[in-house]
């Protein structure tokens, strides 16, 4: 198939949407498809469109559907779609869902976040990561806790730093934060936090290779987001054997499972501080966190993700054929046709 993959993130961006689009393009090419990644739709003919982000990619989705009403369309739901756009602009977002032959979610709780009428279209495809190299020796001077993510409000990026302020003097915890600051105001806040807080070290945007090295070396990772669509850094941490503390939000629970022992209420730095200190002081707790991740590692296997995409592409194409044969308006495909 000739596939156009739409992402709102521009070339050379290190935003999650761009990274995800490029990963998916690689998977689809390994399945034998020809893939073009674009930020907008320029009317080029193709056999299938995959649009990442129901709201931001809405113009491309609508234009493709007008030009090719009989061809398959897949819409991938991001965290912003689920946690913001469905409420802020339901008309635009739901229109994209109406037009799609299939939907993609990135964690197991996405179905709970969308209207029931669209759930038959949904396939959950967890983002995978190749098996990591062996763990690196941790630093001995500090108990290094890693935060990976750009400084954006929805990531609550300074929560681990603020939690570290409450730790007792004897603690050796040091928070190392990897991630850029798209808004200069966030960079100013991070620098100010470093000056006031000796336990916090913001390194800015770094290469993927350097991130992976830190993942293999750190003692623990904190993911403090207020909302997520299915953070790939969870996959990366699990592949690297790195224990995780995470805010208890659907996007994290949908990847780590309800029984993960390292949750804290989103935004609750006192609860996070207690968990960080416990991880430093209680080796058995740290091992429980690691073992929980190891037990879920199979869900993040690249072979599993590739097979899921093969099934979804075939399913979307079949749904489009069935819709056309039944004479159904492309804007309102019947959910029953999308069942396996």
CATH of domain 143-298: 3.40.50.2000
Residue with the larger pLDDT of the pair 257 and 79: 257
- Asked whether residue 180 carries a pLDDT value surpassing 90, the answer given is yes
Give the pLDDT score at 79: 87
* Average pLDDT of the residues in 97-122: 94
Q: Please report, in angstroms and rounded to a whole number, the separation of the first and last CA atoms in the chain.
A: 21
Do 143-298 and 2-128+302-338 fall under one CATH topology?
Answer: yes
339 band by pLDDT with thresholds 50, 70 and 90: very low
Dihedral Cα 224, 53, 150, 230, nearest 10 deg: 30
What the block records as the tokens of 236 is 């990366």
Rounded to whole angstroms, the Cα distance separating 102 from 71 reads 12
Rounded to whole angstroms, the Cα distance separating 136 from 140 reads 12
Rounded to whole angstroms, the Cα distance separating 241 from 244 reads 9
The domain spans of the chain are: 2-128+302-338, 143-298
pTM for this structure? 0.88
CATH of domain 2-128+302-338: 3.40.50.2000
- Dihedral angle sign, alpha carbons of residues 250, 252, 257, 259: negative
Give the pLDDT score at 13: 62
What the block records as the tokens of 241 is 């054997």
17 band by pLDDT with thresholds 50, 70 and 90: confident
**CB-count exposure of residue 110 (10 Å: 0-12, 13-18, 19+):** buried
Q: Which of 87-101, 118-132, 264-278, 307-321 has the highest mean pLDDT?
A: 264-278
- Asked whether residue 15 carries a pLDDT value surpassing 70, the answer given is no
């Amino acid at each position: 198939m000739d596939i156009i993959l739409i992402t709102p993130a521009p070339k050379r961006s290190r935003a999650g949407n761009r990274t995800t689009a490029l990963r998916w393009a690689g998977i689809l090419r390994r399945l034998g498809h020809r893939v073009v990644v674009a930020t907008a739709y320029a009317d080029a003919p193709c056999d299938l469109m995959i649009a990442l982000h129901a709201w931001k990619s809405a113009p491309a989705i609508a234009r493709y559907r007008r030009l090719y009403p009989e061809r398959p369309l897949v819409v991938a739901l991001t965290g912003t779609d689920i946690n913001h756009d469905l409420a802020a602009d339901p008309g635009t977002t739901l229109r994209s869902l109406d037009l799609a032959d299939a939907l993609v979610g990135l964690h197991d709780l996405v179905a709970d976040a969308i209207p029931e009428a669209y759930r038959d279209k949904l396939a959950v495809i967890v983002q995978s990561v190749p098996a990591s190299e062996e763990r690196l020796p941790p630093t001995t001077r500090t108990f290094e806790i890693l935060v990976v993510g750009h400084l954006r409000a929805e990531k609550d990026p300074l929560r681990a730093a603020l939690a570290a302020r409450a730790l007792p003097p004897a603690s050796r915890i040091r928070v190392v934060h990897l991630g850029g600051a798209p808004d200069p105001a966030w960079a100013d806040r991070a620098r100010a936090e470093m000056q006031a807080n000796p336990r916090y070290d913001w390194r800015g945007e770094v290469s993927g290779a350097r991130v992976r090295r830190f993942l293999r070396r750190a003692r623990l990772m904190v993911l403090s987001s207020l909302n997520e669509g299915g953070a790939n850094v969870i996959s990366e941490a699990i592949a690297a054997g790195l224990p995780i503390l995470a805010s208890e939000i659907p996007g994290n629970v949908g990847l780590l499972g309800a029984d993960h022992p390292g949750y804290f209420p989103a935004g609750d730095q006192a609860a996070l501080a207690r968990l960080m200190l416990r991880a430093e002081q209680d080796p058995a707790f740290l091992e429980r966190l690691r073992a929980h991740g190891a037990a879920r590692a199979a869900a993040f296997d690249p072979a599993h993700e590739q097979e899921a995409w093969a099934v979804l592409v075939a399913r979307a194409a079949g749904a489009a054929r069935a819709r056309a044969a039944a004479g159904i308006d492309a804007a309102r495909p019947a959910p029953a046709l999308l069942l396996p």
